[in-house]
Amino acid sequence: MKKHLLSIDDVTVDDIHALFETAAEMHDVQRRDVKKLPALRGKTVINLFFEDSTRTRSSFEIAGKWLSADVINLSAKGSSTSKGESLRDTVLTVTAMGIDGLVMRHSASGAAQQVAGWLRQESSTIPVINAGDGTHEHPTQALLDAYTLTRRLGSLEGRHIAIVGDLTHSRVFRSGVKCLTKLGAEVTVVAPPTLMPSGITAWSKDAGFATSYDVDAVLPTADAVMMLRVQKERMSGGYFPTAREYTVGYGLTRSRLGLLKEGTPILHPGPMNRGLEIAPEAADAASSAVLDQVSAGVAIRMSVLYHLLAGPSAAATTGE
């Protein structure tokens, strides 16, 4: 792996497989009575979150602690940025304290890349992990989603994965498409015209995925479907007439479950708007992988922290 994890572009197919292999071993820790490995003993990781988060921040915190790292959570409300301090000064102040890793979420696209650049200027060796930057990328979410699918489906080579919903505002979709296509999946993204990102036609041709406005035509051939949250907090205008019309046109409703092949995994990165983009019957279906994603999130983030902070020579899984 590269020094930082800012984008799925930072990992090769071999890197992804290595991360998945380590994650599978880390997954076993969740079933132990004592959930501790010594791999990051003596390391300090800062979770610097400028946006609200439950799953991502909690899973990074658990991942670090289960690897025996000291984990400190900082939020915008509890940092000096609320007093007017710049992001650059906040980051350089935090990293000057002798920490070993920085996990960051920020509302501005490209913020993690910018932080890595500032640290490079300071000759810092601290790895930066992007936990979501604006509408740009969310690489660990893409990795955990792909990992979840491989545990359900095996190899993703030639598998048809449908990603449905608010593509315009989704960093999960942008990272997910890159990760899934790297692993050989055939991806179709589906959204209403108002939520289909501008320029996606050219991007889809270069990246090798398909686009569609017709969810009912895509679902019957899908080997897995991921529903994306309608991000109302990022919307400043009328992207669709009413919530009801969105659900009728693009929601994974109870009736649409009948379009899926039997046992088709249903994913959602959360948090879910039940009754809007996904019906309760779909979220709680036997084929739902939503809670599997949460469990996989801890394992994948343990794997990422291990590979970036400990290195392959550390005895992470032997307990030595």
Q: What is the DSSP string of 48-109?
A: EESS--SHHHHHHHHHHHHTT-EEEEEEGGGSGGGGT--HHHHHHHHHTT--SEEEEEESST
> DSSP secondary-structure letter at 115?
H
Q: Which two tokens stand for residue 34?
A: 């004592």
Helix axes 13-27, 139-153, angle to 10 degrees: 70
What pLDDT sits at residue 9? 97
What is the pTM assigned to this prediction? 0.93
Q: Cα separation of 183 and 157, whole Å?
A: 6
Question: Could you tell me which residues are annotated as the binding site for carbamoyl phosphate?
Answer: 55-56, 105, 138, 141, 270-271
Contacts of 230 (CB under 8 A, 6+ apart): 165, 166, 243, 246, 273, 276, 277
Residue 312: pLDDT band (50, 70, 90) is low
Contacts of 51 (CB under 8 A, 6+ apart): 76, 105, 106, 107, 132
Residue 294 has pLDDT above 70, yes or no: yes
What's the pLDDT at 297?
Answer: 98
pLDDT of residue 83: 63
Domain ranges of the chain: 8-138+294-310, 139-290
Report the chain's mean pLDDT, rounded to a whole number.
92
Q: Using CA atoms, how far apart are residues 279 and 272, in angstroms rounded to an integer?
A: 10
Structure confidence at residue 78 (pLDDT): 61
Pick the CATH number of 8-138+294-310 from 3.40.30.10, 3.40.50.720, 3.30.930.10, 3.40.50.1370: 3.40.50.1370
Interatomic CA distance for residues 288 and 302, integer angstroms: 23
Binding residues for L-aspartate, as ranges, are 83, 171, 229
Determine the average pLDDT of the residues in 135-162: 98
Binding-site residues sit at 55-56, 83, 105, 138, 141, 171, 229, 270-271
> Which pLDDT score, from 0 to 100, does residue 80 have?
65
Top CATH class of 139-290 equals: alpha beta
Split at pLDDT 50, 70, 90, the class of 76 is confident
Give the model's pLDDT for residue 211: 97
Question: Residue 90: pLDDT band by 50, 70, 90 thresholds?
Answer: very high
Q: Does 8-138+294-310 match 139-290 in CATH topology? A: yes
Q: Is the pLDDT of residue 290 over 70?
A: yes
Average pLDDT over residues 44-64: 95
More confident residue, 312 or 39: 39
Q: What is the pLDDT of residues 99-121, one digit of tens each?
A: 999 999 999 999 999 999 999 99
Does pLDDT of 75 surpass 60? yes
Looking at the DSSP bridge assignments, the partners of residue 315 are none
Output the pLDDT for position 4. 97
User: What is the enclosing helix (H) or strand (E) of 195?
Assistant: none
Cα 257 from Cα 45, distance rounded (Å): 42
- pLDDT(139) > 90: yes
CB 77 within 8 A of CB 58: no
Query: What average pLDDT does this structure show over 183-196?
Result: 96
For residue 315, pLDDT over 90 is answered with no
**Which phi and psi (to 5°) does residue 211 adopt?**
-125, 150
* Average pLDDT estimate for 119-134: 96
Sort 152 into a burial class: Cβ within 10 Å, 0-12 / 13-18 / 19+: middle
